[in-house]
Amino acid sequence: MADYFNADQDEMNSLGEKITAIHLQEIETIKSLNTQLRELMTGADGFHADGLSGYIVETLDLLDVSVQPIIEQKFSLTEQAISSFIGVVNNLDTLC
């Protein structure tokens, strides 16, 4: 591992912004897939698997209510940690 991390303040801030953008994109992808699957399983022209459609919709509901908030929370904690790291690096830069 390198002994030095060489990045200026703009690069550090850009890193934080990129990670936030990736997280937002991932959340939107999850929501979109959930919506598409739900429409496929419940729509008039959709795919209906006898006995399975209800379970799949229940699983999608679980994803909406239980899993997605956990993912969003973990993304938020990661973004806070990165923001703190950027703050520490920027403060060390000004101290040295």
User: What is the distance between the alpha carbons of residues 64 and 34, in angstroms, rounded to a whole number?
Assistant: 8
pLDDT of residue 52: 79
The mean-pLDDT minimum among 9-13, 23-27, 41-45, 48-52 falls in 48-52
* 30-46 pLDDT tens trace: 999 999 988 888 777 76
Q: What percent of the chain has pLDDT over 70?
A: 83
Domain boundaries, the chain: 27-95
Residues contacting residue 59 through CB under 8 Å, at least 6 positions apart: none
1 pLDDT higher than 70: no
Mean pLDDT for 76-91 is: 89
DSSP 7: -
Mean pLDDT for 67-84 is: 94
User: What is the distance between the alpha carbons of residues 22 and 30, in angstroms, rounded to a whole number?
Assistant: 12
